[in-house]
Amino acid sequence: MPEKEATARIKINKHLEAAGWRFFADGGAPANICLEPRVALRPGDLDSLGVDFQHATRGFVDFLLVDPRGFPLIVLEAKAEGKNPLVGKEQARKYARSQNCRFVILSNGNLHYFWDLERGDPYVITSFPAPDSVAGYKQVAPSPQRLAEEHVEEDYIVLTQRPAYQSEAGWRNEAERADYIQANKLRFLRPYQLKAIHQLQAVVREGKDRFLFEMATGTGKTLTAAAVVKLFLHTGNARRVLFLVDRLELEEQARKAFVALLSADFQTVIYKENRDDWRRAEIVVTTVQSLLFNNKYQRLFSPTDFDLVISDEAHRSIGGNARAVFDFFIGYKLGLTATPRDYLRHFEGKTPNARDPREAERRLLLDTYRTFGCESGQPTFRYSLLDGVKDGFLINPTVVDARTEVTTELLSEEGFVVSFTDDGGEDVQEAFKQREFERRFFSETTNRLFCKTFLENALRDPVSGEIGKSIVFAVSQDHAGKLAQICNQIAGRMFPGRYQSDFAIQVTSSVPDAQQFTVNFANNNLLGSGNFIPAYRTSKARVCVTVGMMTTGYDCTDILNLGLLRPIFSPTDFIQIKGRGTRNHDSLVKTPSRGS
């Protein structure tokens, strides 16, 4: 046997053992690795075969991995290190068919492919799947036709929540339907959300297994994702779904949404270390960071543990090291993003500059579209901010511009140029650029000008007449503290005796309970609520000053004002921040609007 082939065999053996496959019986567990033609090894066989594995008298070529009853589960076709494993594809397929085996692994010891013969093409894996994981994966009988033909209408999410007395023909009258929706806070799919599901079904019919929904912030990506989850689980095309978020605070928000929408049919859990709850759930929510920590995704999971992976804010979940987590799992992949690729279309014509954040994000967005099978730049479904405004679901923001001469020059291409005489008596000039914005030039006067302009132009709450609920974005945590203090001082003069320094509050990671502050603000009880009009519930604190905690995915529909008191260099961040204030909200209605 050539050296490279022997080395490949040794590596493959280690991968098998690491995944829980056994050459020999272990206690009450039988061996589950056979060699062609279905001959199990005995202790000592590996030693007697030595490196001349290929030319042993029994002529072993392939591994056959079997289930606990001894039935074929996976054909493993091994090739030498110098060969692409895909050269054995047709040979392995033929052998798998002869064994009535659905799964194939192609490996040269370094590069491995997992191939579900009933689902599509071989998929690169970095770890071999565990026996119990593959057995569970086998329970899913993929039926793209059933998925594509599933009848999905606006009430798809709430079908199982109808009252027992309602007939299949529909509600007895519109009043009954409206009352039930209001009482139970039901969420119906909006027309564009329904169109997204139908478009996904259409591309599944074409044989695709990668999808990308580009939907503006505030258009209900989580509700749409819930409908997709139900579609896959209900049609038997998924046994378990992984919902990936990129921030800790979004875990619980996503879990609550799925519980509210799908708990009648499916169990949702948040994955945490040393818990096996996820094995008993159909929907698993976790952060990319949780899985990356200590390589948990490789140590504790198998590539076949999830049949559908949904990446919230997809451009973040596949960037950098996070890409390894996303690629690890086999199955259908759905990306959700609020950042349109077209947002950077004018930048593409410029000379690329690797240091410009727009260039980095342009490349990331291009990669996002490629990853989800949308190389043409057209997502599976698109619904923009302008679409939402036109349809009455979103609000187009009004911009108030406040700047000083210094800040304007700092953000220009030339920067802020200062002329002075150095220690040697020479006249010199020094240019300061964007990154110096707060560290060296945010004076007390500038901060006060920005805060004063913001509060004087802020929209008022239509019911209480107070400054509307607002989020202000600062450069740094120290800057956030300064801005909160200045806002409180100005509010004290604008509204004497009303707030006692409760008007603005710093919400950053250095502040204890900051995460709970974001929840309380959304629930209208941050530092109290209903202080001035008892019948109207709104937060006493009117302004949250943050750096990055309340950007991506923060859901608070009654935000009226956003203060960008720092430069936003990232187009993606700008889209996300702006989206906190584009949701439509009726202050007189206590329950969420339909489909919001």
Give residue 55's pLDDT: 45
Tokens of 97: 């068919």
Cα Rg of the chain (Å, integer):
29
Q: What is the DSSP letter of 376?
A: T
Give residue 86's pLDDT: 92
Fold of 3-138: tt1808, chain A (3.90.1570)
Cα–Cα distance between 473 and 456 in angstroms, integer?
17
CATH-assigned architecture of domain 444-579? 3-Layer(aba) Sandwich (3.40)
Tell me the residue length of the chain: 596
The answer to whether domain 3-138 and domain 444-579 are alike in fold is no
Cα–Cα distance between 475 and 548 in angstroms, integer?
9
In contact, 337 and 214? CB cutoff 8 Å: yes
**pTM (2 d.p.):** 0.75
| Strand 381-383 relative to strand 308-311, pairing | unpaired
pLDDT by residue for the chain (596 residues), tens digit each? 556 667 888 899 999 999 999 888 877 788 888 875 544 445 555 444 444 444 444 434 478 999 888 899 999 998 888 899 999 899 999 999 988 999 999 999 999 999 999 888 899 999 999 999 999 899 888 889 999 999 999 988 875 444 444 444 455 565 665 555 555 556 789 999 999 999 999 999 998 888 989 898 888 888 999 999 999 999 999 999 999 988 777 888 888 889 888 988 898 888 885 567 788 889 999 988 888 888 888 888 999 999 999 988 776 666 667 778 888 998 899 988 876 655 545 455 455 555 555 555 555 555 666 677 666 668 889 898 888 888 888 877 777 666 555 556 555 655 555 554 555 556 555 555 555 555 555 567 778 888 888 888 888 888 888 898 999 988 888 889 999 999 999 998 998 888 888 899 999 988 888 888 888 888 888 888 766 677 788 888 999 999 878 877 677 888 888 888 877 766 667 777 777 767 776 666 543 333 32
CATH-assigned architecture of domain 144-391? 3-Layer(aba) Sandwich (3.40)
336 forms bridges with which residues in the sheet? 213
Cα–Cα distance between 244 and 251 in angstroms, integer?
9
In the three-class reduction of DSSP (H, G, I as helix; E, B as strand; rest coil), residue 100 is classed as: coil
Give residue 549's pLDDT: 82
Residue spans of the domains in the chain: they are 3-138, 144-391, 444-579
Give residue 405's pLDDT: 57
Give residue 229's pLDDT: 95
Residue 427's φ and ψ, nearest 5 degrees, are: -80, 120
In contact, 423 and 370? CB cutoff 8 Å: no
Cα–Cα distance between 301 and 120 in angstroms, integer?
22
